[in-house]
Structures are given as C-alpha cells and as structure tokens.
Amino acid sequence: MQRTKIIDALKRTDFGSPITVMGWVRSKRGSKGIFFIALNDGSTIKNIQIVGEEQNFDEAVVKLITTGACIKVNGVLVESPAAGQASEVQAKEIEVLGTCDSTFPMQKKGQSFEFMRQHAHMRLRTNTFSAIMRIRHNMAMAIHTYFHDHGFYYFHTPLITASDCEGAGNMFQVTTKNLYDLKKDEEGKIIYDDDFFGEQTSLTVSGQLEGELGATALGQIYTFGPTFRAENSNTPRHLAEFWMIEPEMAFYDKTDLMDLEEDFIKHCVRWALDNCRDDLEFLNNPRLDPHLIERLEGVLKEDFVRLPYTEGIEILQEAIKNGKKFEFPCNWGDDLASEHERYLVEEHFKRPVIMTDYPKEIKAFYMKMNEDGKTMQGTDVLFPSIGEIIGGSVREESLDKLMAEINRRGMDTTSLEWYLDTRRWGTCPHAGFGLGFERLILFVTGMQNIRDVIPFPRTPGNAKF
C-alpha cells in the first residue's frame, strides 16, 4: 500500500504535494464546520494533524472517525499554522479502514496502568506504551551494536535444559508425559526415561553455563534471549519470563569485568538519549517521571562506585545506628534486600554502585572464591530506583576448587559433567554477567512496574494474551 509514514510526513517540506497517510485516530475535534484529527501510525510519538471541511465529506463517514478508528487519508501536505508542528494534511478523501466504537478500552486518556495491564493487548495503541516499545526496540539495537563493535559473537544457548544454572530450583518443567498417569519408581520418584528427552528437563533460568563454553572457545560471546524463573515473587521488579543479556569473556579479571559492566550500561543509556529523544521527552512529564532525562544524563556523568559487600554492610549498620529503619535485617552474610541496595545507591552514594565480593553462602556455585575462603568475586550493579540491574562474577576456573564447592553444596554433577569439561581441558580465567533487559528498560523509561515494559508480561497467576 502506498503511504507516507507519519514520521516521514512530519519531516517533508514539499508543501502542496499530494500525500496519503494511514493510522489510528487519537482524537477528533471540530469547530465551525471544520474537523481536526490527530492521527498516529506508531512510527513516532508525534501525531500528524488532518484537517477537513465537513461539507466535503459524507456525514456518515465523518461520524465513524472516532478515537481508535483506523483511517486512510488522501490529501495535500500543507504548512501548518498551528504552533509545534511544521506540516499537516488537508484531507481530500477519507476511508475508514476499521471502525472503533465506545467499547474500545483505551479510549479515555489517563487510565491507570493497572487497568491497562488488564487490556495489555490494546494498551500498545496508547502513547505511553508505544513509546516504551519503541525504546525497547532501540535498546535491543544498542546491545547488539555494542557487542558487535567490541568483537563479541552473538551466541545462542538452549532454552530447554537439564541443568539448573543458578541452583535455586526455580524452574518450569518441560515434559510430554501424561500428567494424569505418571509412572513412579519404588521410592515414589517420577521416571523420566520414557519422557521426550529421556531425562527431567526445564526452561532455562540462565544461558551462562553454555555461554562459558562459547567464551572458552570463541573468546568473547553474548547471549540475548528469554529466561524463565518460577519464583513466586509478585514484585514490580520480577517476571516469570524475562529477557537476559549474558556476555562471557575469556581472560577477564574482576577489574576488566567491572569496566565492561559500566561501559556497556552507559553505552545503552547514551543510545537512548541519542536515538529515542521524542519518546523520552514524552515520558519525561509530571504524570510519569518529571526527572527522567536528568537521571539518564546523570548516570553518564559519574563513575560508578565500586564497593565490597563488607563495606556496604558497614555503611548500612552505621545508617541503622543513626536511626534509619529497614524492614529486613542486614548483618554480614545476609542477602541484601532491594531497600538496602536502594539506600546505598539513592541516599548514601547518589550514583550507581558495583557491589563486589559477596559471602559465598548467598551466591552461586560457579563464582571464583577469594583467598579469604569466605567471599566470592561477584560484581552486581545496583541502580537508582531499580536495585540490582546486573548480576555478574569472575568464574572459578580451577577444577579442584570448583569441585570442592560443588561437593560442599551437595550438588549432583550428573547433569553438569559437560560444564566441568571446560575446567578439565584448557581451563582459563574468565568472567561474565547477566543484565535483566526489562530492568534496563525500567530505568530508561522511568516506569515503575516491570509488567509495563514488556508487551505481554508473565507473572504468577497471569499468562493471558
């Protein structure tokens, strides 16, 4: 179909030329026999104004031009007398491609995000959600561009797996077994021999273990794909299905890793400022987040704080002594809650923090142990208003040390032998991290709930659409 996209129409200056635009009606108003339509086709947050004289159109057709309707307009591009727009379209013919009656749920302005979540399939037609989705696309491009330009290979790891990378057991099972008639052995355990893969399998919680195989062969790889966690956390920061970016690098130590985390995330924020200006300006408003752009620019200016966990705990203890109240305890050895992370980032340092060297009891088996035998070389990035945005670490490259940790945790290595081969043959120092894509989008858009930065969120009790 021949048409000019609205993003291009708004840039054209060949006034007097014929033009055809198509899109969805955001609003229509009229006065003194003239109607004005704000039309949007998703190519930009900006609408193009369509102007028509009622007497030139069939009354029945004009009535069908309601909020949400899809129309095709043939007309002439003219210079706009109205402020804030260079051009508009003087309509000659209007065809209603799809009518939209008053039951359309996204008709009213200013509806709550909660309401829009219940109509997630239609919220994409609103300004806010189209802006978020364009930014989401741009951030994916930022990520691929960054890694490609830095010599990383995009490496595809499986979604169906027989191993549990994080060892947390929050996995969704994958089976073709008849759940109404499960065969069990004498101890009551389900027999998987006759299942599709001949063993128990799940949806992956992380591509890291396979990513390490890639990095220890190709040098530097990254994954970018869906990840699944059956944790029953109904919070504004958790999804059951989210997208993760996991770079893994051979010959990287802790400092190299932290440098990459910081440079990469700044690149993504800079990309948003450079490529998503109109959408960011739209989101930067009193109803959503009046300080969004300022916060994004702030992140670029400052060096991230690099803070060992033990010092972080000392700062938190000091704050408690001075009257700060937290809901959860934070003694040495505790996993930090989001309130602690946010105190450090938002109140104490007022800039992003890379927290390092966590107690081994709260981190995964694969992390490199420090010489103290108590802490591991984790490098999580904590962000304002988000908390943990990146989880990373140097990996334990010594087979003996890794095996000792696996045994100490009482883990079964049957499904991990292939992973241990990286340490058996030509092991090398290496490191990597995982960035939660939706947490990045939360930060860049200033949205408050992770359900609002993915088109169709999956959370406990919700797999609609």
Q: Does 397 bind ligand 4AD (CB under 6 A)?
A: no
Give the x-and-dash track for 167-206 against ligand 4AD (CB under 6 A): ---------------------------------------x
- Interface residue with Mg ion among 211, 391, 436, 446 (CB under 5 A) is 391
Tokens of 143: 């990520």
State the nearest-atom distance from the C-beta of 336 to ligand 4AD, in Å: 12
End-to-end CA distance of the chain: 29
Contact region for ligand 4AD (CB under 6 A) — 141-149, 310-318, 344-352, 430-438?
Answer: 430-438
269: partner contacted, choices ligand 4AD, Mg ion, none (Cβ within 5-8 A by kind): none
Dihedrals phi, psi of 133, to nearest 5 degrees: -70, -35
User: In the complex with Mg ion, which residue's Cβ is closer, 214 or 391?
Assistant: 391
| CA–CA distance, 201 with 294 (Å, rounded to integer) | 46
State the nearest-atom distance from the C-beta of 237 to ligand 4AD, in Å: 6
State the nearest-atom distance from the C-beta of 170 to Mg ion, in Å: 12
Q: Does 439 bind ligand 4AD (CB under 6 A)?
A: yes
Tokens of 409: 């945790």
210: partner contacted, choices ligand 4AD, Mg ion, none (Cβ within 5-8 A by kind): none
Residues 183, 217 contacting (CB under 8 angstroms): no
State the nearest-atom distance from the C-beta of 194 to ligand 4AD, in Å: 31
State the nearest-atom distance from the C-beta of 376 to ligand 4AD, in Å: 12
Contact region for ligand 4AD (CB under 6 A) — 43-51, 318-326, 417-425, 433-441?
Answer: 433-441
Q: Does 136 bind ligand 4AD (CB under 6 A)?
A: no
Contact region for Mg ion (CB under 5 A) — 17-25, 100-108, 254-262, 383-391?
Answer: 383-391
Give the x-and-dash track for 298-337 against ligand 4AD (CB under 6 A): ----------------------------------------
| CA–CA distance, 244 with 312 (Å, rounded to integer) | 26
Q: Is 234 exposed, middle or buried (0-12, 13-18, 19+ CB in 10 A)?
A: exposed
- Interface residue with ligand 4AD among 434, 444, 446, 451 (CB under 6 A) is 434
State the nearest-atom distance from the C-beta of 392 to Mg ion, in Å: 9
| CA–CA distance, 339 with 381 (Å, rounded to integer) | 15
User: Collapsing DSSP states into helix, strand and coil, what is residue 202?
Assistant: strand
Residues 119, 106 contacting (CB under 8 angstroms): yes
| CA–CA distance, 397 with 388 (Å, rounded to integer) | 25
Per the DSSP assignment, residues forming a β-bridge with 387 are 383
The number of residues in the chain equals: 465
User: In the complex with ligand 4AD, which residue's Cβ is closer, 195 or 388?
Assistant: 388
Q: Is 323 exposed, middle or buried (0-12, 13-18, 19+ CB in 10 A)?
A: exposed
Q: Does 229 bind ligand 4AD (CB under 6 A)?
A: yes
Sheet of 153-154, strand order: 153-154, 220-228, 241-250, 430-436, 387-394, 375-383, 353-359, 305-308
Per the DSSP assignment, residues forming a β-bridge with 308 are 356
Q: Does 47 bind ligand 4AD (CB under 6 A)?
A: no
User: In the complex with Mg ion, which residue's Cβ is closer, 34 or 362?
Assistant: 362
Residues 215, 432 contacting (CB under 8 angstroms): yes
Which residue ranges make up the site for ligand 4AD (CB under 6 A)?
A: 165-166, 206, 208, 229, 231, 238-239, 242, 244, 246, 388-393, 432-434, 436, 438-439
Which residues contact Mg ion (rule: CB under 5 A)?
A: 391
